[in-house]
Amino acid sequence: MRVGVEPFLMLAAVLFSLGLYGALSKKATVQLLMSLELMSIAVNINLVALSRFVTPQTMEGLFFAIFTMVVSAAEIGLGLGLVLAIYRQARTSEVTNLTELKG
Protein backbone atom coordinates (compact mmCIF):
# COMPACT_ATOMS: atom_id res chain seq x y z
CA MET A 1 0.00 0.00 0.00
CA ARG A 2 1.28 3.34 -1.00
CA VAL A 3 0.92 6.08 1.52
CA GLY A 4 -0.05 9.51 0.01
CA VAL A 5 1.00 12.98 1.17
CA GLU A 6 -2.23 13.62 3.09
CA PRO A 7 -1.44 11.61 6.27
CA PHE A 8 1.82 13.47 6.65
CA LEU A 9 0.08 16.82 6.25
CA MET A 10 -2.59 15.72 8.72
CA LEU A 11 0.07 14.70 11.22
CA ALA A 12 1.89 17.99 10.73
CA ALA A 13 -1.40 19.96 11.18
CA VAL A 14 -2.16 18.06 14.42
CA LEU A 15 1.31 18.68 15.73
CA PHE A 16 1.18 22.37 14.75
CA SER A 17 -2.20 22.81 16.43
CA LEU A 18 -0.92 21.15 19.61
CA GLY A 19 2.13 23.40 19.54
CA LEU A 20 0.02 26.47 18.92
CA TYR A 21 -2.33 25.56 21.75
CA GLY A 22 0.61 25.05 24.04
CA ALA A 23 2.26 28.33 23.00
CA LEU A 24 -0.94 30.24 23.67
CA SER A 25 -1.99 28.64 26.90
CA LYS A 26 1.02 27.31 28.88
CA LYS A 27 2.36 29.42 31.73
CA ALA A 28 5.75 27.87 32.14
CA THR A 29 8.33 29.30 29.80
CA VAL A 30 9.99 25.94 29.23
CA GLN A 31 6.68 24.46 28.17
CA LEU A 32 6.27 27.42 25.87
CA LEU A 33 9.59 26.67 24.23
CA MET A 34 8.63 23.03 23.86
CA SER A 35 5.40 24.09 22.13
CA LEU A 36 7.37 26.28 19.75
CA GLU A 37 9.57 23.23 18.97
CA LEU A 38 6.44 21.21 18.25
CA MET A 39 5.31 23.82 15.73
CA SER A 40 8.68 23.94 14.00
CA ILE A 41 8.73 20.10 13.83
CA ALA A 42 5.32 20.20 12.21
CA VAL A 43 6.69 22.61 9.62
CA ASN A 44 9.66 20.25 9.07
CA ILE A 45 7.36 17.31 8.47
CA ASN A 46 5.48 19.40 5.93
CA LEU A 47 8.71 20.40 4.21
CA VAL A 48 10.02 16.81 3.99
CA ALA A 49 6.66 15.36 2.93
CA LEU A 50 5.99 18.00 0.27
CA SER A 51 9.55 17.65 -0.97
CA ARG A 52 9.13 13.88 -1.26
CA PHE A 53 5.73 13.96 -2.96
CA VAL A 54 5.64 17.17 -4.97
CA THR A 55 9.21 17.71 -6.18
CA PRO A 56 11.11 14.42 -5.67
CA GLN A 57 13.77 15.38 -8.24
CA THR A 58 15.09 18.31 -6.28
CA MET A 59 15.92 18.36 -2.58
CA GLU A 60 15.18 21.94 -1.55
CA GLY A 61 12.58 20.87 1.01
CA LEU A 62 15.09 18.55 2.63
CA PHE A 63 17.70 21.27 2.76
CA PHE A 64 15.19 23.64 4.32
CA ALA A 65 14.31 20.98 6.91
CA ILE A 66 18.01 20.59 7.83
CA PHE A 67 18.32 24.42 8.13
CA THR A 68 15.19 24.65 10.24
CA MET A 69 16.49 22.00 12.65
CA VAL A 70 19.80 23.81 12.96
CA VAL A 71 18.06 27.13 13.55
CA SER A 72 15.65 25.68 16.11
CA ALA A 73 18.51 23.96 17.93
CA ALA A 74 20.24 27.34 18.18
CA GLU A 75 16.92 28.96 19.10
CA ILE A 76 16.34 26.47 21.90
CA GLY A 77 19.84 27.15 23.24
CA LEU A 78 19.22 30.88 23.18
CA GLY A 79 15.71 30.46 24.60
CA LEU A 80 16.87 28.35 27.53
CA GLY A 81 19.63 30.88 28.22
CA LEU A 82 17.02 33.62 28.28
CA VAL A 83 14.82 31.64 30.63
CA LEU A 84 17.73 31.16 33.03
CA ALA A 85 18.58 34.87 32.84
CA ILE A 86 14.94 35.89 33.44
CA TYR A 87 14.67 33.45 36.35
CA ARG A 88 17.76 34.91 37.90
CA GLN A 89 16.35 38.36 37.54
CA ALA A 90 12.73 37.79 38.56
CA ARG A 91 12.84 34.57 40.63
CA THR A 92 10.15 33.17 38.37
CA SER A 93 9.90 31.97 34.81
CA GLU A 94 6.15 32.02 34.33
CA VAL A 95 5.17 34.06 31.24
CA THR A 96 2.09 35.48 32.93
CA ASN A 97 4.33 37.22 35.45
CA LEU A 98 6.57 38.80 32.81
CA THR A 99 4.68 42.05 32.18
CA GLU A 100 7.58 44.50 32.15
CA LEU A 101 6.56 45.74 28.67
CA LYS A 102 2.97 46.55 29.62
CA GLY A 103 1.97 49.91 28.09
Which residues of the shown chain bind another protein in the complex (CB under 8 A)?
20, 23-25, 95-96, 98-103
Least distance CB 55 / another protein (angstroms): 23
Axis crossing angle, helix 29-53 with helix 60-90, rounded to the nearest 10: 180
Least distance CB 70 / another protein (angstroms): 24
Cα gap 64→71, rounded to integer Å = 10
Residue 12 exposure: Cα atoms within 13 Å on the Cβ side:
16
Least distance CB 59 / another protein (angstroms): 29
For another protein, give the closer residue by CB, 3 or 101.
101
Least distance CB 35 / another protein (angstroms): 10
For another protein, give the closer residue by CB, 2 or 91.
91
**Is 32 exposed, middle or buried, given 0-12, 13-18 or 19+ CB atoms closer than 10 A?**
buried
For another protein, give the closer residue by CB, 23 or 76.
23
